[in-house]
Structures are given as structure tokens and as C-alpha cells.
Structure 1
Amino acid sequence: MYVKCRGGDVPGANHRAYLVLEDGTVLKGRAFGADKTAVGEVVFTTAVVGYPQSITDPSYKGQILVFTHPLIGNYGVSEDQYESEGPQAEAVVVHEATRPSHYKAVMSLDEWLKASGVPGIEGVDTRALVLKLREHGVMMGAVGQEPPDELLERVRKSPRYDEVNYALMVSPKEPEELGDGKICVGVVDCGVKRSILRELVKRGVKVLRVPCLRWELALKCDAVLFSPGPGNPNLLDRVAEGVKAAVEMRLPVMGICLGHQVVSKALGARLYKLKFGHRASNKPVRDLAFTGKTYITTHNHGYAVDPAGSGLRPWAVQPDDGTVEGLYHPDLPILTTQFHPEAGPGPRDTTWVFDKFLKMVGNGLR
């Protein structure tokens, strides 16, 4: 029986839990999900729906995910909402975990996190937490039922998010082929989402998905896509070598999110960390070069690109703060997006970017 999560009356939500930030801030709440402790970088998303997609997005590996929307869990969880094999976020923070009411739900959020070994905390004043993160920037933190001083000690003894190469943790161990089209796109997988693979396959593309450190396998294809993923892009020098190799061969290259950053890095751009990042399914992006339109898009990035000196030109920017959200090269078949054109969750108004990339392949720009 599902009971709305108020006052700790949901199974698994009867115990006091804490979220402790690296500066010593302690937020009290109720535990749900797995009975364990998790440490990670505390980030927030303003997405209203799509919590299963967000939690299973490999880009959240190493992070504690805070949902700003006050009610999370109302339509439960079903596997067709997954963006990977299962939850990737280290822990989940919500104001109120609600019971599911949807015909496709097979588990509640509480049951799902418990079965997946992911702790959650509810009853937190997420408004105050987000205001703090916006003011001070993202911080390391811990979620668990241990005393706050013990959780703080865990945080201080753990490596910082920027120091861990999380892309290697979520990259597949072996190559995989998907689809059977005439055009082959090699996907260098640093943490790809299933939605990206679906967008390619449904366009009649044969996809060769390869581990990120075995990028040379992708060079056998007609084009190469460098995928999104978690962690610090400045740690991915070996993947950037794959970009250089593809460019030397004049293979059409696309980069999405982390892939956008790695492509830019390979060509000499500067990467930097944002104060609290862009994580949402309702972020505006203004197209400066192709359509002239402004789109509402999905974002999940804590780093950004300064393309000066790389030869790349911005085609998309975030109008709120000027962050570069898309790049192209005037002479080489290179196209990147910092935002997620595949959405998952979010609006799908920019899926045309995949068509533009594949047109570069069809035009024989090699």
C-alpha cells in the first residue's frame, strides 16, 4: 500500500536523516530509499517532471541530486523512462516524496531507490537549499542517517567531485552495435543517454557504441559523436586525442554536453566551471546562426566553454548568462551542443540538430 509521504508515514521514511554540506550546514529530513550513506557534489535541477530520466542520467554520477519541484514521485517509475541501466545519482533530495498514481508505474520512488541502493531524504526545505547553492555555488555533501558530525567527516575525507574521472566509471566495457543503417556513427561513450542512441537509430543509422578510451574503434565509422557524461572534462585528455584523430581524418564530428566540452578542449578552447551549473528541462537557448529562433531545452552541465582561439564559432547561447551552448567550425564538419537536443526529459524542439549532423555525413564532408 502506498501512503503519501507526510510526516514519515511512508515505508522507509520513518527514520531521521541528514544532508550535511561541506561548510557544516545541516538539513534535517526523513530517510527513504536505501538505508546507506552517500557522498557527492550537491546540485539541483529545476525540472518539474522526468525524475526517473534525471536520476538514471549517467551525467549525475558522483552527484547528490536536489529536485526544486516540491512533489516528486507522483507517477512512480517504469523502465521505459530509464536513460541508462538504472539510477546513477549518488542520492536524491526532495521536499516531499509522493505516492504514484499512473497506470505504467511498477514501483514507487521509495521502492525503486531502495532496490537500487540509492539513499533519499525528504522533508528538506529545498527552497532554502537551492538559494544557498545559488549564492555559494555547488558544494560537496553527504546524505545519511549517521550523526551530522560523522557525515561531515565523511565529506571532508572524500575526494572532491572535480578530482574523480567519473566518465570512466559509466563508460561501457565493450563495444555494442545498434541499428542496421547504411551510415555508421561511432559513439564515443563517456556516459551516453539512451535517448541519444534512439534518435540516431530511428533515423536509419547504424550505431557503434564504444568505450571512451577505445575511441579508435569509432574512427572506422562515417562520423563520430562524443557523448555526454559526468565529471570534470579537464581530466579527459585521452578522449580529446580521439577528437584530434577524427578531425585529422575530416570525419564529421558531433559533441553533446561533455562531448561538446571535450571537442572544444581538443581544439584549444578553455573550459571552466560554472558556479552552480545549468540543470533543468526549461532552459532557453538562442540560435545565432541557423534558425534565428529561441528554443526551450534540456541542460545538465556544471562546466562551460570559452571557445577563444579554438577556431570554433558559437551558434547557440544561453540568453540568461551568455554561456555558449553550441559551436561549429566554418571549415571543418564539426557541430556541438552544450544542451541536450535529445531532451529526456524535456521538450524535443531541437532534435533537428541530429538531422543537421547527419546531413554533414551525407554531404561527404570528410
Structure 2
Amino acid sequence: MEGLLYLEDGTVFLGKGFGFPKTSVGELVFNTSMTGYQEILTDPSYTGQIINFTYPLIGNYGITESENESNEIHAFGAIAKHICFEPSNYKSIDNIDQWLFNRKVPGLFEIDTRAVTRKIREFGAMKCVISNENISIADAKKLCEESMLRQDYMKTVGTKEMIHIPGNGPKVSVLDFGVKTNILNELKKRDCDVYLFPYNSTAQQLLSVNPDGLFLTNGPGDPKEATEAVNEIRLLLHKIPIFGICMGHQILAQAVGGTTYKMKYGHRGGNHGVFDKDTGRSIITSQNHGFAVNAESILLTGMEITHINLNDRTVEGMKHQSLPVFSVQFHPEAAPGPNDSSYLFDRFLTLMKGGTLHA
């Protein structure tokens, strides 16, 4: 199959197609991870996005049964320099080409992914069309101009009904904006009794199981679109310990009176350095976000900044000065990425058992 990538500024990249023959419109982003393509493509936070992988070889260890972060591929497309059609891994059950085909997701390869990345870094994340159906450049241009990108996917990608994952430890209400499997795994490792709630759950419903804590998950889209969730979380700030990750972090910032903004091209990869003010240590983190919390906006809200990105000084974490409430922008559950920050789940357990965020 011939492949085409059309950017909203008129730039065209030609390559070869793999996966399912399809034309999709989405937001073009890049990810710098050297491994973890399966986890990345199945991360619900990538809903609506077309991922340009900067690592030059994708698919070399195939697809396994244990590395999905959800039950489906949420990205709208994948772009790579080279694709491995004959993976080498005793656990592999499929190659990436067949995997994308079975899940009706288009892919492109033989694309200059470094040029695509430099384009995004210079001009920012942008709308694009990915196609491996031999459409014309004129048709791609028309489709790009006529299509609108949704910004409220966090309302629809998560569970549609409450799900109970039994455990013998602290009881946790999880508000699902597009949760990754490994977040739930980290809670299960600590024997938490987990209740996963859909996006439209009310504060009363979240409290109905008498939880020891509230967890706010990752998810896709613009946090400003999550007005219903912001309003419900605001009602819970003084009632229960709260831990938020990524989208949950951004929504929590709005709930306390802060604001968020869209970054030029975001942070996506498994090698982002972050400074933890509370421990005085730097950690390497897994990240996937296109929005960030405005630092000045939370200064008079009772929150204080706890984590700073070492590359661009953006806010990577915060905690309340008197309430058991904290959040981080990065992904302590990794998958893919390092486990440097998994201690944050232990910190949440401490809060649910009556501990404090302050020494």
C-alpha cells in the first residue's frame, strides 16, 4: 500500500502503508520512547492522536498478550521509519502489521520521522490526515480542512458502568477518564479494594462505597472540557484523600481554582527528567500529555508545586498545604518507562491510612 501523511499547513510526507487500509484525521504528536509501542498505542490518553515514533524500528519484538494498557488501540494511526514484519520474541503472538489490521488502525512506514518530529517541534502539534488507501493529496487537503478535532474524549473512553476489583486493603474510588491497566495494577499490588467509576459519576456516587481515597486517572483531550468532573471533584476536596495523575492532575488543578494551557508539542516518552522538591531527588519519568497546569494560577489556591520538569520547568506535581490532596503530571505507573516514581502510590496509601503529605 502507498501511504500519505498530510499536515494542516500543507506539508506532505509519502511512504508505505501497513495495518488496516483506512484514512483518519487526528492530532499529530511524537513519542520518544525506545520501547513500549504496544502500551503506547493502547493507552486511552492517545485517543484522537496519530503517533509519530521517533525510535527508528517499531515492531521488532512483536505483540504479546500481557502488554496492552486497554482492550483496544486508541491511537488513530501510527507512523514509523521502519517496521519489523518478522518479530523475534518467544512471547509474541502477532506482528504489528497484523495487529493494527485486526483492530482497523492505519499505519505508515518509510517516513522520515525525524523530519516530522522537527516539524512538530518548530510549529507545534497539528491536525493531520493519515491514509494508506491511495487517496490524492487534494482529497487529503479537503478532508483536513473540513474535519474538526474533538477535545472531550475523556468523557467517553472510560468504563460505562461501575466495576469492582476486590482487594483487602484501603477502598479506592477511581474516577475513570481513560485509565491505563497498569494504574489499576499498581493499586492491586497494594491490595486496594478498587471501585472504577465512569466519567459522569457524581460526588455522591463516588462516596457511596465509603472509600478511603479518590483516584483521578489519566485520559485524553483538553481538561477544560471536563467541567462536570471539575465541579464534582470540587465537592470532595475537603472530604477524602485524593491522588491525580496526568488528566486527573489537570482536572484537580481546575477544581482548586487553577488553570491549564495547551503546550506547543507536549511531553511524550519514557525519559523525562523531573525534580521532586520533597525528596530533593531527580527522577526519570514516563510522560504523555499535551496540556499543563499554569504555575501562577495555583499559587493562592492552597496548593504548592512539588515537582518540576527539568527540561522546560513546567509543573509536574503539586500538593495541598493542609488537605490530603496531591497529583502529578507524569505517569508513576510507567508502562512503558522507568519505575522511579512508583513510590507515589505508597504515598497515596499512607494518606488513606490517616498519614500526611507533610513531614
1:341 aligns with 2:341: no
Per-residue CA deviations over 1:206-262 (Å, capped at 9, x if unaligned) read 00000011143222311101100000000001011221121132x000110000000
- 1:170-219 per-residue CA deviation (whole Å, 9 max, x = no partner) reads 02111101132241110000000000000001101000000011143222
Provide the residue aligned with 2:45 in structure 1: 59
* 1:146-157 pair list within 5 angstroms: 146-157=135-146
**1:109-135 superposed Cα distances (whole Å, 9 cap, x missing partner):** 000000000000000000001001000
* Letter matched to residue 312 of structure 2: D
Q: Is residue 236 of structure 2 the alignment partner of residue 246 of structure 1?
A: yes
Summarize the alignment of residues 304-323 of structure 1 with structure 2, pairs less than 5 Å apart. Answer: 304-306=292-294, 307-323=298-314
- Identity, % of aligned positions: 39
Matches within 5 A, 1:345-360: 345-360=336-351
* Structure 2 counterpart of 1:94, one-letter code: A
Query: How many residues in Structure 1 have an aligned counterpart in Structure 2?
Result: 347
Q: Using the alignment, how far apart are the partners of 1:328 and 1:156 within structure 2? A: 42
For 1:279-325, what per-residue CA distance to the aligned partner results, in whole angstroms no more than 9, with x for missing partners? 00010010112x11100000000000013332211111101100110
Residue number in structure 1 paired with 2:182: 195
TM-score (norm 2): 0.95
Mapped pair 1:272 → 2:261: yes
Question: Conserved in 1, the CA contact under 8 Å of 2:155 and 2:226?
Answer: no
TM-score scaled by structure 1?
A: 0.93
Report what 1:133 is aligned to.
Answer: 120
What is the distance in 1 between the residues matched to 2:310 and 2:197? Answer: 35
Kept in 1, the 8 Å contact 2:246–2:330? The answer is yes
State the Cα distance separating 1:42 from its structure 2 match: 0.2
* Distance of 2:288 and 2:35 partners within structure 1: 15
> Within 5 A, what are the aligned runs for 1:82-161?
82-98=68-84, 99-144=86-131, 145=133, 146-160=135-149
1:71 paired with 2:60, answer no
Pick the aligned partner of 2:286 from 298, 319, 329.
298
Question: Which structure 1 residue ranges, 4+ long, deviate > 3 Å from structure 2?
Answer: none
CA contact (8 A) 2:166 2:194 kept: yes
Q: Secondary structure at the match of 1:342?
A: coil
For 1:241 and 1:87, the matched residues in 2 are separated by 30
Q: Secondary structure at the match of 1:325?
A: strand
The answer on 1:281 being equivalent to 2:297 is no
1:80 paired to 2:71? no
Deviation at 1:164, TM superposition (A): 2.8
Shift of 1:155: 1.4
Q: Provide the secondary structure at the position in 2 that maps to 1:177.
A: strand
CA distance in 1, matches of 2:91, 2:248: 33
- Please, which of 30, 39, 42 is the counterpart of residue 16 of structure 2? 30
Counterpart AA for 2:231:
E
- Amino acid in the other structure paired with 1:268: G
Greater shift, 218-227 or 185-194, is seen at 218-227
Q: Is the 8 A contact 1:298 1:343 kept in 2?
A: yes
**Matching residue of 2:323:** 332
RMSD: 1.1
Distance 1:351 1:305 in 2: 22
Asked whether 1:181 is paired with 2:131, we answer: no
Partners of 2:238 and 2:323 within 8 A in 1: no
Separation in structure 1 between the aligned mates of residue 24 and residue 301 of structure 2, nearest angstrom: 39
Residues 260 and 336 in structure 1, CA contact (< 8 A), matched pair in contact too: yes
